[in-house]
Amino acid sequence: MALTAITREINTAMGSCELTFLPRVSIDTALAQQQHQHYQSVLSSLGCEVVVVPTEPGLADSVFVEDTAIVLDELAVSLRPGAASRLPEVAGVERVLKQHWTMKSIQPPGTLDGGDLLRIDNIIFAGLSTRSNRSGIEQFQHIVAEYGYSVTTIETTMCLHLKSAVSEVAPGTLLINPDWISSSAFRDYELIEIDEKEVHAANALMVGSSVVCPASFPRTIDRLVSRGIDVIPLDLSELQKAEGAVTCCSLIYTAP
């Protein structure tokens, strides 16, 4: 089945992005654009139709499009990012999705970032984080329950998002940083622990039978390769300075 990947252009205001766990350092916007274009090219090579949503003035974090929505098999849900500066990002993505999907949305006082939602088949793990609150998760749980999805809440205090600490790298197999999140909620899955010296390495993007990873985590990549996983390493140094990772730069789903 055909995959669609929604992405969004690098914003010239990216240097003033929201940061929670990382110190602010200078971001080379031109290099970030080159790295992001390569990321888009890789998605295309993996069979995705890449849909690029134009950015808008002042939306510093809008390249991290995953936080604005989640697309399930039956519907799409517009989310409500926990950083107030990011709320205007939602409308542009929603305009694209509503052309093809039934839309539901998270309402105030709920907040919910897509980076806090890890879907594995009909189970969705939701991170209770600095960006996603109980109201947002409870609203989401109510929305998706009628479509047969269950939602498990996991408190996330050591990192920005749930998927900063755990992501799917093969069917039934998760990449995890056990120092940032308890592995007890994932006892039904095979777990691959990141290398302890690469604390940000747990965020990986599975596209079909391949996994996209930042090239800056070679030890963790070696662990994935040793398990027979096809890994595509990418240089995303400038996006990483903005507390970004490979999952948050796209919204990937099977076209309706």
pLDDT, tens digit (0-9, with 9 covering 90-100), for 182-231: 999 999 999 999 999 999 999 999 999 999 999 999 999 999 999 999 99
Q: What is the DSSP letter of 9?
A: P
Question: How far, in Å, CA of 197 to CA of 8, rounded?
Answer: 31
pLDDT at 30: 97
What is d(CA 99, CA 101) in angstroms, rounded to the nearest whole number?
6
Domain chopping of the chain, boundaries: 3-254
DSSP H helices, the chain, are 29-45, 89-97, 134-145, 218-226, 237-241
Dihedral sign for Cα 127, 128, 129, 130, please: positive
How far apart are the C-alpha atoms of 201 and 138, rounded to whole Å?
A: 29
| Percent with pLDDT over 90 in the chain | 98
Q: What architecture (CATH level 2) is domain 3-254? A: 5-stranded Propeller (3.75)
In sequence order, the β-bridge partners of residue 234 are: 214
Instruction: Provide the whole-model pTM.
Output: 0.97
Res 1: pLDDT: 65
Task: Give the pLDDT of residue 59.
Answer: 97
